[in-house]
């Protein structure tokens, strides 16, 4: 299994489940930081048309292209189903944001052989590792 830093270093396209239009929520500010540092962000939210100027898709199945990482901003009980969806689209890694922990989601990811990170923040890991995709 890759480390959190390695997952981010390897990723180019990140699907963000639960991305929010509310600039005060981490589910807006964290993916926006990743976008500003060069990652391609695909916001997944069935209730809005766009987040930070990027068109949303209602579900992971609607993306229609490979993603390198599924970042989850949903409560732990919802994360289980999102991890199942990530497995279904053959995402190589899932990441549950700070404060989100699920033994069942971890089990599903491990059984599928995909990398799993929980209770960690993408933006903090990016900053700590000095990672950027900007050229």
pLDDT tens track for 93-120 = 999 999 999 999 999 999 999 999 999 9
Position 79 scores a pLDDT of 97
Question: Closest Cα partner for 132 from 36, 27, 58, 13?
Answer: 36
Q: Domains of the chain: which residue ranges? A: 4-129
Is the model more confident about 134 or about 91? Answer: 91
Is the model more confident about 45 or about 1? Answer: 45
Q: 74: number of CA atoms within 13 Å, CB side?
A: 20
Question: Closest Cα partner for 41 from 63, 14, 7, 59?
Answer: 14
Instruction: Tell me which architecture the domain covering 4-129 has in CATH.
Output: 3-Layer(aba) Sandwich (3.40)
Mean of per-residue pLDDT scores for the chain:
96
pLDDT tens track for 77-90 = 999 999 999 999 99
Position 1 scores a pLDDT of 82
pLDDT tens track for 20-68 = 999 999 999 999 999 999 999 999 999 999 999 999 999 999 999 999 9
Position 134 scores a pLDDT of 76
Whether the model pTM is above 0.95: yes
Position 135 scores a pLDDT of 63
DSSP conformation class of 61: G
């Amino acid at each position: 299994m890759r480390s959190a830093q390695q997952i981010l270093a390897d990723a180019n396209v990140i699907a963000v489940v639960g991305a929010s239009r509310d600039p005060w929520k981490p589910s807006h500010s964290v993916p926006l930081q990743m976008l500003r540092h060069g990652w391609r962000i695909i916001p997944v939210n069935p209730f809005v048309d766009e987040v930070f100027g990027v068109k949303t898709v209602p579900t992971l199945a609607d993306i229609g292209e490979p993603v390198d990482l599924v970042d989850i901003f949903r409560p732990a009980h919802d994360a289980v189903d999102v991890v199942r969806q990530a497995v279904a689209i053959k995402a190589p890694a899932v990441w549950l944001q700070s404060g989100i922990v699920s033994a069942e989601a971890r089990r599903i990811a491990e059984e599928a052989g995909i990398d799993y990170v929980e209770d960690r923040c993408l933006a903090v890991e990016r900053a700590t590792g000095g990672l950027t995709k900007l050229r």
